């Protein structure tokens, strides 16, 4: 097709096929106009396209780099400058030839070049030889100091110091070149890590380390406790300096990344064999091709680059934080020496002071005995060769620090020399060692070589002066001993600063210690070597973790795994802390799904806006996502569903079981039989009247019948802070929790307890009202089977019993089946209270234990009807009724809502119920007002007047006081004053009539036993 009016190039020429002939030719005019270019573009080596003024001419590599200069120039001369301006050559040789022979300046077509120094700096840093060399130096920087301590002695430190200096120079040069050649390196995260890790190499120079972390200083008071604590602080500082070297691990990661990228580029540059092609492409051609492919296909997004960098930072910071923090929480092994060294030093110094005061044979024997005991107690040779010098075991070789030098030290040279002469050991060491061997001591001192016996008996004349302090003494390892001493140490300074521990007496004055004191040096080389070994192992382990963690993390892991996993963990933690919140969590999740679905549907309606959004976000050309959700999404929603089912199945009584098992996150075992928890609560028993007959009549529909009633009972109970527990067919157990074992009794809110108790009474009244107002349940009155069995006036009815007390909340059952419930004698009492509704002919009976917790206005709605001893309770109990005439309730005539009860509508109902429940949590919520303002409840209480209550109360008081004839007259009036029979009045009259004939027994105390009462029924 034509792209322009120019006769020289009327069409598009495209020769980009991999074979020796052109794949496609579009526009024959172009081929006729440029036969020379055709020969080269479409020839055996041709790979390119030539386009008109609106396009570009592209030729890859070798065509321009071998023999095409003249043809290309002739072809370019026949084009206008505009055509040439839209032409781009790929091939360095072709561009050079074109610019040289055509004279056209095409610099504006090329991107601005970097300065030469930037290119040179980057090439040097990324060169394979430099990368390999710096990797070797990095490995040395990580492990060199540990190998120095592990394998060499102090004279070899000079060589290691020069190696550290070389590393410092190379690494600082590398940082400088990276600053010059790499973009976004200066002041970046890796810049600071490189700088800190390189600077930390200075601590590996022994001169610097000795100055910073030396245990002794020329101006310190060596004899004081402050000096000992300072020495320990110095060791901690030295350890911190070594841990800082772990920052150099980051260099390994950088170098590995550079090596990996170089290997990848090398694999991409390997020429791929094509049918009919000769493998004669140059390295420059492959680099040019790789550059184009990387720009088009392998370009890393900014989001991916940022995410990768953040992930690497977090992994590095995590591991470095662990390595920097763990040493501070470790117990120093040389502290296991305990106080034996310091205590023994004080003991030796004390005996030496006595020897100075009274130089007798007895005092010398005691001093030399104390000194030899100290030396043998910290026997150096039991650690060096246990088989020879401690064959029976039980020696002090459990400690890493062992004594190797003892002598006199101080700043008064004359006093030191004089005291050293006095302090020498004159006792034959062989005899002393044989003497203690003859005794069966619990502790085994071990033995020492004969050469050491001679050393201990020598004069303390070895000069070990240092830092202005005069020191004279003997070293136990001053001579080579086969199988024991292979590196002689004449003075403490012959060891590294970190390889010796200085112990001095504490129970001396500062002036005396400055003048002279007995000093002991312990050999720490075994501990230092062990520490070096552990450092190597830790370094290697962290290195592996760092590389693996940095390479495994990716952007998709966050989107597909990490974030869903974090949400799942959050869900599990919320369910673990409060299992009952799972239902709310499911509602929130469903709400979010519905909102997302609505937004998607709304977006589809706005077609133009939806299309523009897809184009802008780059989703227009992407394949539509599958309708099947991700596994992580399925798992997250499954957790929510399982939590909701657990909350519904176990209820509030099982919350502790769920939380306990979910807190045990380190085990998959389930322990449902956990100890129960004592709670103070109000126990409500709700029973369906005539349930046995209803079951026989309704049969398979009995489940629907019970669930219809349960929807009212559970809904109202939940609204008024109740927790429905179990259903045994005809009865429901509802709990209003007041207190638990975990509650702080000092922080009890009396107002909340009053409100909760009032809600339990109001909830029973609301349940009764809703039951008899329901048109759905009222329809059962016309059921033929129920009318036949129960009479023409049959109907669905409930009875309620409320009692307050303690209960054990927990699991009931075995490992095969459990029920989360409440066990207590109070549950049985509540059941007996509910059963009493049959005898007294009322719907609701409330025990005094509940009434006394209620607000005064709620108490005024309750009528005291008797004092009884009830099943399960040995103490007399006052029982109250809530007078409600359910027969006066008008059935709701409104037609039922034509609503399909799907998940969405049930969610809306739960949201409405949660709103209603939230209203009860307000501080100003008046529970009595709910009772007084409910129209159905007021209709049920309309016939109960003040006159009736006053007359009944007088009759009851006479009944309670034994004036049964007076009570008979009054209660007979209250039985008929309402226009219908008052059943509590009738119950009291029946009790007085039979068998007492309205004469109170002589032992009457105003209490009767419902268990043995003849009118209790079944």
| More confident of the two residues 292 and 812 | 812
Q: Most confidently modeled of 324-338, 353-367, 564-578?
A: 353-367
Residue 864 pairs with which residues in a beta bridge?
880
Q: Is the pLDDT of residue 953 over 90?
A: yes
Cα→Cα distances 140→173, 196, 248, 251, 540, Å: 17, 17, 10, 12, 13
Q: Is the pLDDT of residue 15 over 90?
A: no
Cα 912 → chain centroid: 35
The residue among 513, 494, 336 whose CA lies nearest residue 411 is 513
What pLDDT does residue 267 have?
56
Q: b/e for 217-228, b at 16 or more Cβ within 10 A?
A: eeeeebbbeebb
What pLDDT does residue 600 have?
74
For residue 829, name the pLDDT band (cuts at 50, 70, 90).
very high
Q: 384: which residues sit within 8 A by CB, 6+ positions away?
A: 484, 485
pLDDT single digits (tens) 640-692: 777 777 777 776 666 666 666 666 666 666 666 777 888 899 999 999 998 98
The residue among 337, 376, 390 whose CA lies nearest residue 503 is 337
Residues 326, 535: Cα–Cα separation, whole Å: 12
- Please say whether the beta carbons of 718 and 724 come within 8 A: yes
Q: What is the mean pLDDT of residues 725-740?
A: 86
For residue 109, name the pLDDT band (cuts at 50, 70, 90).
very low
What pLDDT does residue 684 have?
95
Neighbours of 175 (CB within 10 A): 18
Is the torsion defined by CA of 428, 433, 439, 441 positive or negative?
A: positive
Pairing of strands 517-523, 58-59: unpaired
- Which residue, chain included where needed, has tokens 């290195």? 543
What pLDDT does residue 605 have?
66
Angle separating helix axes 525-552 and 249-269, nearest 10 degrees: 40
What pLDDT does residue 14 have?
37
What pLDDT does residue 3 have?
39
The residue among 101, 97, 93 whose CA lies nearest residue 77 is 101
Q: Residue 968, preceding bond cis, omega within 30 degrees?
A: no
The DSSP symbol for 562 reads I
Q: 25: which residues sit within 8 A by CB, 6+ positions away?
A: 13, 14, 15, 31, 42
Q: b/e for 992-1003, b at 16 or more Cβ within 10 A?
A: beeeeeeebeee
Output the six-digit token pair for 809: 């909340």
- Which residue, chain included where needed, has tokens 């090439």? 123
Least confident span in 46-50, 533-537, 889-893: 46-50
What pLDDT does residue 72 have?
39
What pLDDT does residue 821 have?
80
What pLDDT does residue 244 have?
57
For residue 187, name the pLDDT band (cuts at 50, 70, 90).
confident
In terms of Cβ atoms closer than 10 Å to its own Cβ (0-12, 13-18, 19+), residue 970 is buried
Q: Is the pLDDT of residue 750 over 60?
A: yes
- Please say whether the beta carbons of 823 and 777 come within 8 A: no
- Which residue, chain included where needed, has tokens 């049985």? 828
Length of the chain: 1018
Residues 83, 54: Cα–Cα separation, whole Å: 8
Share of residues in the chain with pLDDT > 70 (%): 67
Q: What is the mean pLDDT of residues 433-437?
A: 79
- Angle at Cα 122 formed by Cα 116 and Cα 125, nearest 5°? 140
Cα diameter, the chain: 141
The residue among 284, 141, 286, 154 whose CA lies nearest residue 210 is 154
Q: What is the DSSP string of 787-818?
A: HHHH-TT----EEEEEEEEEEEEEEEE-SS-E
Pairing of strands 798-813, 844-847: parallel
| More confident of the two residues 53 and 330 | 330
Q: What are 859-863's contacts with CB under 8 Å, separation 24+?
A: 861/761, 861/928, 861/931, 862/761, 863/949, 863/952, 863/984
The 3-state DSSP class for residue 123 equals helix
Q: 339: which residues sit within 8 A by CB, 6+ positions away?
A: none
Measured distance between the N- and C-terminal CA atoms of the chain, rounded to whole angstroms: 103
The residue among 394, 389, 375, 401 whose CA lies nearest residue 484 is 389
Residues 843, 832: Cα–Cα separation, whole Å: 14
| More confident of the two residues 741 and 35 | 741
pLDDT single digits (tens) 372-382: 988 888 888 88
Cα 798 → chain centroid: 50
What pLDDT does residue 247 have?
59
Q: What is the mean pLDDT of residues 934-954?
A: 93
- Please say whether the beta carbons of 851 and 859 come within 8 A: yes
What pLDDT does residue 884 have?
93
- Please say whether the beta carbons of 205 and 161 come within 8 A: yes
- Please say whether the beta carbons of 854 and 802 come within 8 A: no
Q: Is the pLDDT of residue 625 over 50?
A: no
The 3-state DSSP class for residue 372 equals helix
The DSSP symbol for 889 reads P
In terms of Cβ atoms closer than 10 Å to its own Cβ (0-12, 13-18, 19+), residue 679 is buried
Residues 833, 827: Cα–Cα separation, whole Å: 10
Residue 407 pairs with which residues in a beta bridge?
473, 519
Residues 835, 1018: Cα–Cα separation, whole Å: 9
Cα→Cα distances 744→150, 741, 753, Å: 59, 8, 14
What pLDDT does residue 441 have?
72
The residue among 48, 44, 108 whose CA lies nearest residue 72 is 48
What pLDDT does residue 207 have?
84
Backbone torsion region of residue 872, taken as left when φ is above 0, otherwise alpha when ψ lies between -120 and 50, otherwise beta: left
Q: Most confidently modeled of 24-38, 501-515, 530-544, 841-855?
A: 841-855
- Angle at Cα 240 formed by Cα 238 and Cα 244, nearest 5°? 120
Q: What are 225-230's contacts with CB under 8 Å, separation 24+?
A: 225/506, 227/504, 228/342, 228/504
pLDDT single digits (tens) 125-153: 888 888 888 888 888 888 888 888 888 88
30: phi then psi, degrees, rounded to nearest 5: -65, -40
What pLDDT does residue 822 have?
86
pLDDT single digits (tens) 841-874: 999 999 999 999 999 999 999 999 999 998 777 7
Q: Is the pLDDT of residue 949 over 90?
A: yes
| More confident of the two residues 9 and 192 | 192
| More confident of the two residues 102 and 444 | 444
Q: 788: which residues sit within 8 A by CB, 6+ positions away?
A: none
Q: Most confidently modeled of 171-185, 430-444, 554-568?
A: 171-185
- Across the chain, mean pLDDT equals 75
Residues 760, 343: Cα–Cα separation, whole Å: 73
Q: Is the pLDDT of residue 721 over 60?
A: yes
């Amino acid at each position: 097709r034509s792209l322009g009016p120019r006769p020289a190039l009327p069409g598009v020429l495209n020769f980009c096929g991999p074979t020796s002939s052109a794949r496609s030719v579009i526009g024959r005019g172009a081929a006729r106009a440029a036969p020379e270019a055709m020969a080269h573009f479409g020839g055996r080596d041709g790979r390119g396209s030539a386009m008109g003024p609106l396009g570009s001419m592209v030729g890859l590599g070798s065509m321009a780099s071998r023999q095409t200069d003249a043809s290309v120039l002739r072809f370019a001369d026949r084009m206008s400058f505009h055509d040439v301006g839209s032409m781009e050559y790929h091939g360095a040789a072709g561009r050079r030839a074109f610019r040289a022979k055509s004279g056209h300046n095409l610099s504006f077509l090329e991107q601005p070049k970097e300065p030469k120094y930037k290119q040179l700096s980057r090439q040097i840093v990324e060169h394979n030889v430099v990368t390999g060399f710096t990797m070797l130096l990095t490995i040395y920087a990580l492990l060199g100091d540990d190998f120095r301590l592990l394998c060499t002695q102090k004279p070899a430190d000079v060589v290691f110091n020069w190696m550290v200096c070389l590393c410092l120079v190379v690494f600082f040069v590398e940082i400088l070149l990276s600053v010059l050649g790499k973009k976004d390196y200066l002041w970046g995260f890796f810049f600071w890590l490189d700088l800190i890790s390189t600077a930390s190499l200075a601590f590996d120079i022994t001169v610097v380390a000795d100055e910073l972390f030396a245990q002794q200083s020329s101006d310190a008071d060596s004899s004081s406790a402050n000096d000992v604590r300072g020495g320990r602080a110095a060791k901690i500082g030295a350890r911190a300096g070594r841990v800082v070297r772990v920052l150099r691990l980051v260099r390994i990661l950088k170098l590995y990344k550079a090596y990996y990228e170089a290997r990848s580029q090398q694999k991409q540059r390997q020429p791929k064999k094509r049918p009919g092609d000769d493998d004669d492409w140059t390295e420059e051609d492959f680099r040019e091709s790789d550059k184009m492919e990387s720009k088009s296909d392998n370009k890393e997004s900014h989001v991916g680059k940022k995410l990768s960098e953040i992930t690497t930072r977090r992994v590095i910071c995590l591991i470095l934080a662990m390595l920097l923090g763990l040493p501070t929480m470790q117990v120093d092994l040389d502290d296991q020496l305990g106080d034996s060294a310091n205590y023994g030093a004080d003991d030796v110094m004390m005996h030496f002071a006595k020897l100075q005061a009274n130089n007798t044979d007895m005092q010398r024997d005691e001093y030399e005995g104390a000194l030899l005991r100290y030396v043998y107690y910290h026997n150096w040779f039991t650690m060096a060769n246990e088989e020879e010098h401690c064959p029976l075991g039980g020696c002090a070789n459990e400690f890493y620090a062992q004594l190797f030098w003892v002598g006199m030290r101080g700043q008064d040279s004359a006093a030191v020399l004089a005291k050293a002469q006095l302090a020498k050991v004159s006792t034959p060491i062989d005899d002393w060692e044989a003497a203690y061997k003859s005794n069966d001591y619990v502790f085994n001192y071990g033995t020492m070589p004969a050469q050491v016996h001679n050393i201990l008996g020598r004069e303390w004349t070895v000069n070990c002066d240092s830092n202005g302090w005069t020191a004279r003494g003997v070293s136990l390892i001053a001579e080579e001993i086969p199988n024991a001493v292979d590196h002689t140490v004449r003075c403490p300074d012959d060891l590294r600063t970190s390889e010796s521990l200085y112990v001095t007496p504490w129970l001396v004055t500062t002036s005396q210690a400055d003048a002279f004191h007995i000093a002991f040096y312990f050999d720490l080389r075994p501990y230092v070597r062990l520490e070096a070994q552990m450092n190597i192992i830790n370094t290697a382990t962290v290195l592996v973790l760092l590389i693996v963690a940095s390479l495994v993390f990716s952007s998709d892991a966050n989107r597909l795994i990490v974030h869903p996993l974090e949400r799942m963990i959050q869900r599990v933690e919320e369910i673990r802390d409060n299992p009952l919140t799972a239902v709310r969590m499911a509602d929130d999740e469903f709400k979010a799904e519905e909102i997302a679905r609505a937004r998607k549907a709304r977006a589809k309606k706005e077609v133009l806006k939806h299309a523009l959004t897809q184009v802008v976000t780059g989703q227009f050309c992407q394949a539509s996502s599958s309708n099947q959700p991700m596994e992580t999404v399925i798992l997250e929603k499954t957790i929510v569903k399982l939590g909701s089912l657990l909350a519904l199945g176990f209820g509030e009584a099982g919350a502790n079981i769920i939380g306990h098992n979910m807190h045990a996150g380190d085990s998959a075992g389930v322990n449902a039989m956990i100890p129960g928890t004592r709670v103070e609560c109000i126990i409500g028993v709700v029973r369906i009247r005539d349930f046995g007959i209803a079951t026989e009549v309704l049969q398979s529909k009995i489940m629907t019948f019970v669930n219809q009633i349960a929807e009212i009972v559970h809904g109202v109970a939940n609204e008024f802070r109740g927790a429905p527990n179990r259903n045994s067919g005809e009865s429901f157990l509802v709990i209003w929790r007041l207190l638990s074992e975990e509650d702080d009794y000092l922080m009890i809110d009396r107002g909340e307890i009053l409100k909760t108790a009032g809600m339990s009474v109001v909830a029973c009244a609301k349940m009764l009202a809703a039951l008899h107002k329901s048109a759905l349940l009222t329809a059962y009155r016309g059921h033929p089977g129920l009318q036949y069995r129960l009479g023409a006036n049959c109907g669905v009815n409930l009875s309620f019993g409320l009692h307050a007390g303690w209960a054990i909340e927990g699991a009931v059952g075995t490992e095969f089946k459990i029920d989360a419930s409440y066990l207590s004698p109070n549950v049985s009492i509540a059941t007996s209270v509910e059963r009493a509704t049959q005898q007294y002919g009322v719907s609701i009976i409330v025990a005094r234990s509940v009434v006394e917790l209620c607000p005064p206005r709620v108490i005024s709605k309750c009528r005291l009807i008797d004092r009884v001893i009830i099943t399960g309770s040995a103490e007399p109990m006052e029982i109250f009724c809530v007078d409600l005439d359910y027969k006066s309730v008008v059935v709701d005539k409104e037609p039922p809502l034509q609503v399909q009860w799907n998940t969405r509508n049930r969610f809306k109902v739960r949201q409405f119920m949660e709103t209603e429940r939230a209203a009860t949590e307000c501080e100003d919520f008046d529970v009595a007002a709910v009772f007084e303002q409910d129209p159905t409840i007021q209709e049920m209480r309309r016939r109960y007047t003040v006159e009736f209550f006053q007359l009944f109360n007088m009759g009851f008081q006479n009944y309670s006081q034994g004036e049964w004839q007076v009570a008979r007259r009054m209660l007979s009036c209250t039985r008929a004053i309402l226009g219908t029979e008052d059943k509590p009045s009738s119950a009291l009259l029946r009790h007085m009539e039979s068998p007492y004939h309205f004469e109170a027994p002589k032992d009457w105390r105003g209490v009767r036993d419902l268990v043995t009462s003849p009118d209790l029924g079944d």
